[in-house]
Amino acid sequence: MEKINVAPANGKLGVLCIGMGAVTSTFMVGTLMSRKGLSTPVGSLTQLATLRVGKGDQKQFKKFGEVVPLAQLDDIVFGGWDIFPDTAYESAIHAEVLKEKDINPVREELEAIKPMPAVFDHRFVKRLNGTHVKKQATRWELAAEVREDIRRFKEENNCDRIVVIWAASTEIYVPLSKEAHMDLASLEKAMKEDDTTNIAPSMCYAYAAIAEGCPFIMGAPNLCVDMPAMWEFSKKMNAPISGKDFKTGQTMMKTVLAPALKTRMLGLNGWFSTNILGNRDGEVLDDPENFKTKEVSKLSVIETILDGKEYPELYGDIYHKVRINYYPPRNDDKEGWDNLDIFGWMNYHMQIKVDFLCKDSILAAPLLLDLVLLSDLAKRAGKSGIQTWLSFYLKSPMHDLEHKPVHDLFEQFAMLKNEIRRMGGYEADQEVD
Ligand SMILES: NC(=O)c1ccc[n+]([C@@H]2O[C@H](COP(=O)([O-])OP(=O)(O)OC[C@H]3O[C@@H](n4cnc5c(N)ncnc54)[C@H](O)[C@@H]3O)[C@@H](O)[C@H]2O)c1
């Protein structure tokens, strides 16, 4: 077995969040509260789960952090960017996800987290008008400024390493461009020529993070790093990248239910998913151009699990529809309904209904923590490019042009565990725990 050398997690880990809204502030509050022993990081595998390593009488169950060297919560230093100057404290209060009594014990730390001015272009998020934004002329100069921000933050906070994660608003759909996205030289050319059609603001952050050799995670459905040019760059700069779109509520349920149907060889005629959501994310997604980005990400899930070519009699003709409705009274308390029209023995029709009353940011926060810690681990293990083993956390997992994404939550979980086993010096396996 080839041994993977993983550098120890010495020193401070800077976690730079792009977008300091509901998800980011909930992530920050929960992490700071947990490290003070005032809360429990529920939903985080890196903090709570055990992993079986070894087989037979060698079998042991260990915490993730006992198998591989993970950064400690105490070593995290938060920073970020937003188009509004609110501190993380103001943002957490404004988001109304958490109660003040759960925020106030870490108020001072949150007040010290002040966003840096953002790279923003109103055309990409038409429902927002930012004031706290960078003024540089071109996309190239904007990326250079973000690189400066990363270096300055690292030095001022005495960080050993930095991870950059996007949890900002979903941008409008940017289709893959032959001219700008297929290789690094074309991407850089487009940035220098200030091609504001093909180069979204998110790409300036991603380019900057990768240029600094930092892991980059795309938590929204933006194309951003999902292109050959960024894959090439991330390999060149030894930066692990992952994305896209945190897999939290409805899609998480989808990737649990769809494998159940397939395992039992039950058929599917249609899957209708609708949501009501009243936070700022919901408002942004109310714009058809921004919703398109989310729709593409959400729609990709079913057809790879329930493959119509493999099983035409069961999945050859599926009608799949996804809707998101902005409904302010609910704020962050999303309600997601799913209706599945399924069929069984002799094609007899049945239905499954799911009503998931969830809290979007509560589900997302532990994913950010795990993605940040595992991306930092990947970097220390010498990994670069697309991190498919992190697909477990993502709605529309990145993959290169030769591979298909894995959507099934349980297959994704096996990939995640095996990669951690490998990095911990154990053999990857398919044993039943
Ligand atoms: N919560 C979930 O379950 C979930 C799941 C998957 C994906 N997401 C995605 O995560 C993102 C964040 O969600 P949220 O609920 O925190 O939204 P939010 O609207 O509360 O926060 C987004 C923040 O990003 C800022 N922003 C917008 N454009 C920016 C830019 N170019 N640079 C820096 N900051 C910018 C906004 O000002 C806002 O503060 C969204 O894209 C959402 O689609 C959320």
> For residues 32 and 27, what is the distance between their CA atoms, to the nearest angstrom?
9
Mean pLDDT taken over the chain: 94
Which ligand 1 atom lies nearest to the CA of residue 334? 3
The dotted CATH code for 12-246+362-423 is: 3.40.50.720
Q: Which residue's C-alpha comes closest to atom 6 of ligand 1?
A: 246
pLDDT of residue 402: 81
Pocket test for ligand 1, best of 23, 279, 333, 356 (most atoms within 8 A of CB): 23
SS3 80: strand
Which ligand 1 atom lies nearest to the CA of residue 26? 16
Q: Which residues of the chain have pLDDT under 70?
A: none
244 DSSP assignment: S
Pocket test for ligand 1, best of 122, 131, 165, 169 (most atoms within 8 A of CB): 169
- What's the gap in Å between 43 CA and the centre of ligand 1? 20
Superfamily of domain 250-359: Dihydrodipicolinate Reductase; domain 2 (3.30.360.10)
Residues with a CB atom less than 6 Å from ligand 1: 18-24, 81-84, 95, 118-120, 125, 128, 167-170, 201, 219-220, 245-246, 248-249, 279-281, 360-361, 363-364
Half-sphere exposure (Cβ direction) of 304: Cα atoms closer than 13 Å = 20
Which ligand 1 atom lies nearest to the CA of residue 81? 33
Burial label for 105, CB within 10 Å (0-12, 13-18, 19+), is: middle
User: How does strand 319-326 pair with strand 267-277?
Assistant: parallel
pLDDT of residue 331: 85
- What's the gap in Å between 20 CA and the centre of ligand 1? 7
Enclosing H/E stretch for 291: helix 288-305
Where in the chain are the domains?
Answer: 12-246+362-423, 250-359
Cα distances from 194 to residues 136, 173, 178, 197, 232, in angstroms, run: 11, 18, 16, 9, 21
Q: Which residue's C-alpha comes closest to atom 38 of ligand 1?
A: 21
pLDDT of residue 293: 78
pLDDT of residue 278: 86
pLDDT of residue 89: 98
Which ligand 1 atom lies nearest to the CA of residue 95? 20
Q: Which residue's C-alpha comes closest to atom 42 of ligand 1?
A: 220
pLDDT of residue 161: 98
pLDDT of residue 98: 97
Q: Which residue's C-alpha comes closest to atom 10 of ligand 1?
A: 167
Which ligand 1 atom lies nearest to the CA of residue 246? 6
